[in-house]
């Protein structure tokens, strides 16, 4: 584990406290859902657990100020229950936030700042894979009313909007409906997330989308060759749009042999060298990953990233951007 001098430790503590730390992806809502009979009880957001990665006490200990909670509705290509599952997840999300004073749903950049000022964690609701919409833009508008502020058009499969990375055989582009969905998201104020999309649809989004998009939980393919990670050309295109990519802690996307805090920060180094410090952030994928890199075992270990960035002599301002400032810049533009 990283050894820092006393002065570096003090600097890291100060910066982490000063930062508004943003994590753009976790799957914790799945763990909070009522469990089938016979399985272990669901976790509660307000209770510290020794399993999984995120609950409110651990977010607070890790200094995470804005946490995106993703609604992921299942692995099957066609998910007939996806809409109901997403509604149930929305219900669990709202009830768990209501039950805890320390966290509050935010629907805009302004509300994130207000929550932070009030000493609360700001929660952001997202849809991972557009299956719950069943190809209906009315459903998109309703989920926006229910609080969704970030959405990816696919998980790994094909949806009525686009192709996920496991459905890339045709090398397809966005469908007409996919283009309309992006326009409607711009009109409503929903952040477009490109994590999990096929490469060919990625480039079509890059053509079609005006303004920034994000990759909420994706790393660099040049460092770790996996289709969930972005090529250098994709990273340059994302940067040209003013976008941000959130670093994913899944060991398979960090380093196949040696996933650690240090090899995760190597991805941050790579992006910074490629396009500067304005396009990288955090997107842990906590509670969606079976194992974690050494040094990033759960939300309480988030300050280790700050410590490693201090050790690598990043400037204070750049660390603040990476910890959350960059994502906040995009939020301010799309969901002011
Ligand atoms: Zn994912």
Convert the pLDDT of each residue in 137-178 to its tens digit: 999 999 999 999 999 999 999 999 999 999 999 999 999 999
Ligand 1 center to residue 211 CA distance, Å?
23
Ligand 1 center to residue 155 CA distance, Å?
7
d(CA 46, CA 294): 26
Ligand 1 center to residue 151 CA distance, Å?
11
Ligand 1 center to residue 276 CA distance, Å?
25
Torsion of CA 228, 229, 235, 241, to 10 degrees: 30
Ligand 1 center to residue 217 CA distance, Å?
7
**pLDDT value for 318:** 98
**pLDDT value for 36:** 85
In a 3-state reduction of DSSP, which class is residue 237? helix
Ligand 1 center to residue 178 CA distance, Å?
19
Q: Which long-range contacts does 115-118 make (Cβ < 8 Å, 24+ apart)? A: 115/65, 115/66, 116/20, 116/65, 116/66
Name the stretches of the chain with pLDDT < 50: none
**Chain segment 35-89, per-residue pLDDT in tens:** 888 888 899 999 999 999 999 999 999 999 999 999 999 877 777 899 999 999 9
**pLDDT value for 280:** 99
Ligand 1 center to residue 93 CA distance, Å?
18
**pLDDT value for 242:** 98
Ligand 1 center to residue 329 CA distance, Å?
22
Closest CA to 237 of 184, 282, 197, 178: 197
**pLDDT value for 2:** 65
Ligand 1 center to residue 207 CA distance, Å?
23
Cβ-based neighbours of 266, under 8 Å, separated by 6 or more: 223, 255
């Amino acid at each position: 584990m990283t050894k820092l001098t006393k002065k570096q430790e003090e600097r890291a503590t100060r910066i982490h406290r000063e930062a508004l730390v943003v994590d753009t992806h976790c799957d914790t809502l799945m763990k909070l859902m009522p469990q089938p009979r016979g399985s272990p009880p669901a976790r509660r957001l307000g209770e510290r657990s020794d399993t999984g990665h995120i609950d409110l006490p651990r977010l607070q200990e890790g200094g995470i100020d804005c946490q995106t909670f993703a609604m992921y509705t299942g692995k099957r290509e066609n998910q007939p229950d996806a809409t109901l599952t997403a509604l149930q997840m929305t219900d669990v999300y709202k009830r768990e936030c209501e039950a805890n004073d320390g966290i509050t749903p935010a629907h805009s950049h302004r509300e994130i700042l207000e929550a932070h000022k009030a000493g609360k964690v700001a929660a952001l609701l997202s849809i991972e894979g557009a299956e719950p919409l069943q190809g209906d833009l009315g459903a998109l508008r309703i989920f926006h009313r229910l609080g969704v502020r970030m959405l990816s058009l696919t998980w790994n499969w094909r949806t009525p909007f686009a192709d996920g990375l496991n459905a890339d055989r045709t090398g397809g582009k966005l469908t007409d409906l996919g283009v309309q969905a992006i326009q409607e998201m711009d009109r409503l104020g929903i952040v477009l997330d490109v994590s999990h999309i096929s490469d060919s649809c990625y480039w079509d989004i890059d053509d079609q989308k005006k303004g920034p998009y994000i990759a909420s939980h994706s790393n660099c393919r040049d460092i770790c060759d996996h289709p969930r990670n972005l090529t250098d050309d994709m990273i340059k295109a994302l940067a040209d749009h003013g976008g941000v990519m959130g670093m994913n802690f899944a060991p398979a996307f960090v380093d196949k042999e040696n996933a650690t805090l240090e090899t995760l920060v190597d991805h941050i180094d790579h992006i910074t060298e490629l396009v500067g410090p304005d396009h990288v952030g955090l997107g842990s994928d906590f509670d969606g990953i079976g194992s974690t890199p050494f040094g990033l075992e759960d939300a309480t270990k988030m300050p280790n990233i700050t410590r490693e960035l201090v050790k690598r002599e990043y400037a204070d301002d750049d660390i603040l951007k990476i910890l959350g400032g960059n994502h906040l810049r995009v939020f301010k533009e799309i969901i002011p």
